[in-house]
Amino acid sequence: MPEQYLHTLIPTDATFVPRPEQIVQFLDGIFALGAEPLKWNLLLAKPSGRVREVKNPLTGEANQIPLNDRVPIENPSDLPSHIADLEEYYVALAGEGPPRTPPFPVYYEDSPFTKTYSFAVRCFLKPRPVSMSDLGDERIGEEMPFFGQRSSRRDALFRHPVSGELIEVSNAGSARFWVEFEFGKWLLPKITDSLNILDPSIAAMADQAFSVFFRQGFHTF
């Protein structure tokens, strides 16, 4: 069982890039539906041009990790001036759960982990499409890029976080832009053989706000 589960909305157009005003419209929709985190704060993270060097303790090889600038944002309406010219960023609306309108039911709803937990809604943009698939540490047959690695794959593959069964989602294999719902460690949504588990009102609002159709997926760690 993974420690952290993140549910994703993936545009069927892998090259889709939202207008800044559409990000604002989506966040406003989250608030209108009561799906925002409690005690929320809004943050923009964007590339700083700085890197941090980290050495592999086994090989001694040095790797450079890009660092972000983190910019607190007072209100969603302030975002467009900050992101209009960016090719890479993420916007995080973060706080506590459960929200008034939870994104989906979870396993073990009577667990103490479900009383209060961290909860965030994030919008990501990358300079080029990256993989949306998640097979954990396993691979099947062909080479499959990890989530977030460069990819042009059309369809996505996911390994059910409990049963281990494979789930294929068409037109969701890669994306420049996607939305994530992250809630609490050791919490998993109830998934059968389909990943279409997001509250229908939230899913429909996202389609309308961005004027694009989304598929649903996830990634874990």
Percentages helix, strand, coil for the chain (3-state, rounded to 5) are: 15, 40, 45
Q: Per residue in 8-46, pLDDT tens?
A: 999 999 999 999 999 999 999 999 999 999 999 999 999
pLDDT at 144 (0 to 100): 80
Range of the domain at 213: 5-45+69-128+176-220
Report if residue 74 sits inside a domain: yes
pLDDT at 126: 98
Measured CA to CA, the distance from residue 152 to residue 4 in angstroms comes to 26
Is residue 190 situated within a structural domain? yes
Domain-located, residue 166 = no
Q: Is residue 164 part of a domain?
A: no
> Which pLDDT does position 193 carry in this prediction?
87
Asked whether the beta carbons of 20 and 83 are under 8 A apart, the reply is yes
In a domain, 28, yes or no: yes
Alpha carbons 206 and 31: distance in angstroms, whole number:
12
- Residue 140 placed within a domain: no
pLDDT for res 62: 84
The residues that bridge with 97 in the sheet, in sequence order, are 117
Closest CA to 68 of 125, 15, 23: 125
With a cut of 70, which residues of the chain have pLDDT below it? Answer: 108-113, 138-142
- For residue 169, the model assigns a pLDDT of 97
Sign of CA dihedral 36, 22, 147, 88: negative
Looking at residue 186, its pLDDT comes to: 86
* Domains contained in the chain, number: 1
Distance CA(174)–CA(172), nearest Å, equals 6
pLDDT of residue 196: 97
Residue with tokens 């925002």: 36
101 within some domain: yes
pTM (2 decimals)? 0.93
